[in-house]
Amino acid sequence: MHFVVCIKQVPEGTEVEIDEEKGILKREGVESKLNVYDTYALEAAVALKEEFGGSVTVISMGPPQAEAVIRESYMLGADEGYLLSDRVFAGADTLATSYTLASAIRQLSDADIIFCGMQTTDGDTAQVGPGIAELLGLPHASYVKRLCTLEADAIILETDMGDGIESLKIELPCLLTVTNEINQPRLPSFRLKQGTKNRPVTIWDHQALVGAKQGYFGLDGSPTQVERIFPPPKSQEQVIWQGTPFELSQRMCAKLRELKYI
């Protein structure tokens, strides 16, 4: 079987600082890394390959330096990697990102299961996976927390629906977005690091994606526009209340109600 994993390079840590005067993100000295949820997606694919045979292909859309996450995935068991990199892809929202990734997966032509992380730690929308599935016309399941049985033409799995666990049987080919409960990702292997040093990373620009519409890429293909970035509102007032227990309870209850916690 052919397993395809979508991986994204994100800034290290979630502690981003904002320059309040200019209303922009401070990025000095911020390192990049592989989106943590994508390590679970990759592990799920590599584990299936090891059990049932086949190959694992990783795809990432990003600037040239995103090649680093593809190299990293080689050390974690991926066989082949594609980097979708082109100025035309820049400024993509989730729809344009899904379109670009879907076009590349279509070009690979034989994916049986496509894995995505449940979300990223930067954009944090969880929208790209379902978007890819729609554009490829495939069924998908989000928040997959366990893979149970792989059959020739279907997979049985469990998803976390927030209020309980749903068991689903999905026909292949399909797309799955996985949670961090699905497995325990392995550590990068030194042996694979040595062994994959010379393995190529295929770079695809927009011309490599045959039949795709250029107007659907990047900024032009993005219906949403980020107008402004700003720091979250400063944590509210700070007050100390004194009084009888009854008065104190009343104040707290009113405040909880005002803030819509109850």
Partner 1 sequence: MEVCPFEGITMEGGQVEFTDACRLCRVCIKACPTGAIWLEQSDAGPILERDKYKDVLIFAEQRQGRIQPVTYELIGKGLELARCLGQEVIVFLAGRDLKAQAHELLLYGVSRVYLYEHKALEHFRIEPYTSLIVDLVNDTLPNILLMGATPVGRSLAPRVAARLRTGLTADCTSLSVKENGDLVQTRPAFGGDVMAQIITPRHRPQMATVRHKVMASAPRLAEPKGEVKECAVDESKLKSGIAVLKFEPYQITTSISDAEIVVAGGRGVGRPEGLKLLEQLAVEVGGALGVTRPLVEQGWADYTMQIGMSGRTIRPRLYIGCGISGAIQHVAGMRGAEAIFAINSDPNAPIFDIAHYGLVGDMYEIVPHLIAMIREGDDPNGVFQLS
- Which stretches of the chain bind ligand FAD, using CB under 6 A? 6-8, 35, 37-38, 41, 59-62, 92-95, 97, 101, 116-117, 119-120, 122-129, 224, 226
Nearest-angstrom CA–CA distance, 55 and 135: 23
Burial 59-82 (b: 16+ CB within 10 A, else e): bbbbeeebbbbbbbbbbbbbbbbb
Q: Is 259 in the site for partner 1 (CB under 8 A)?
A: yes
* Binds partner 1 (CB under 8 A): choice among 95, 113, 189, 208: 95
Q: How many CA atoms lie within 13 A of 81 on its CB side?
A: 27
Which partner in ligand FAD, partner 1, none is near 195 (CB below 5 to 8 A by kind)? none
Under DSSP, is residue 152 helix (H, G, I), strand (E, B) or coil?
A: coil
Pairing of strands 154-160, 24-26: unpaired
Q: Total residues at the site for partner 1 (CB under 8 A)?
A: 96
Which partner in ligand FAD, partner 1, none is near 101 (CB below 5 to 8 A by kind)? ligand FAD
> How far apart are CB 20 and partner 1 at their closest, in Å?
12
Residue type, 80: E
CB nearest ligand FAD: which residue? 123
* Binds partner 1 (CB under 8 A): choice among 31, 198, 225, 234: 225
Contact 96, 216 (CB under 8 A): yes
* Binds partner 1 (CB under 8 A): choice among 139, 194, 195, 207: 139
